[in-house]
Amino acid sequence: MNLFNWITENQQIIYIVILMIFVGIEVIGRVPSVLHTPLMSGANAIHGVVIIGAIIVMGRAEPGNYLALVLGFLAVIVGTLNVVGGFVVTDRMLEMFKRRKPKQ
């Protein structure tokens, strides 16, 4: 019955997971193929939230724990790379989508 206990204990999280799956599918359901790549890139930037985990690891690392310090630091760097790079590159792609005013 351990499994049931575990589900009960984590029901909030399980609810979030289930609902988010549907939201994720629903939200991009009707994307035109032109936007596939920018959308992929934007989503790529959003999963950069993993940076928060890296910050927590880094912030909690005890001074003597070199594994946590070094890897945490590296994780913060690559996580930021994902977030910042992701949003900037998406913006650059989309910059070119602005509707131009008709000429003449």
Partner 1 sequence: MNLLTCCYIIASVTFIIGLKMLSEPASARKGNLVAAAGMSVAVLGTIFLYRDDTGQQLGNYGWIFGGICIGGLIGTLAAKRVKMTAMPEMVSMFNGMGGLCAALIAVVEFDHFRRHAIIVTERTIASGMLIPLGWLIIILLGLIIGSVSFSGSMVAWGKLNGKIKDRSFKGQHLLNLLVLLAIVAEFVYLLFCFDPLLMGILFYIILVLALLYGVLFVLPIGGADMPVVISLLNSFTGVAAACGGFLYDNKVMLTGGILVGAAGTLLTVLMCRAMNRSLANVLIGSFAGGNAIAKGGEQEQGAIKEISISDAAVVMGYANRVLIVPGYGLAVAQAQHTCHELERLLEQQGVEVQYAIHPVAGRMPGHMNVLLAEADVPYDKLLEMEQANELFAQTDVVLVLGANDVVNPAAKTDPASPIYGMPVLEVEQSKTVIVNKRSMKPGYAGIDNALFSGPKTSMLFGDAKKVLQDLVTELKNS
- Interface of this chain with partner 1, residues 25 to 54, rule: CB under 8 A: 25, 27-54
Site for partner 1 contains 96 (CB under 8 A) = yes
What is the smallest separation between the CB atom of 1 and partner 1, expressed in angstroms?
Answer: 10
What is the smallest separation between the CB atom of 104 and partner 1, expressed in angstroms?
Answer: 11
Give dist(CA 79, CA 59) in Å, integer. Answer: 14
Site for partner 1 contains 4 (CB under 8 A) = no
* Total site size for partner 1, rule CB under 8 A: 84
Burial annotation 17-43 (CB, 10 A radius, 16+ → b, else e): eeeeeeeeeeeeeeeeeeeeebbebbe
Q: Identify whether the C-beta of residue 89 lies closer than 8 Å to the C-beta of residue 82.
A: no
Site for partner 1 contains 22 (CB under 8 A) = yes
Give dist(CA 37, CA 31) in Å, integer. Answer: 11
What is the smallest separation between the CB atom of 5 and partner 1, expressed in angstroms?
Answer: 7
Site for partner 1 contains 24 (CB under 8 A) = yes
Site for partner 1 contains 66 (CB under 8 A) = no
Short-list 20, 65, 60, 69, CA closest to 43 = 20
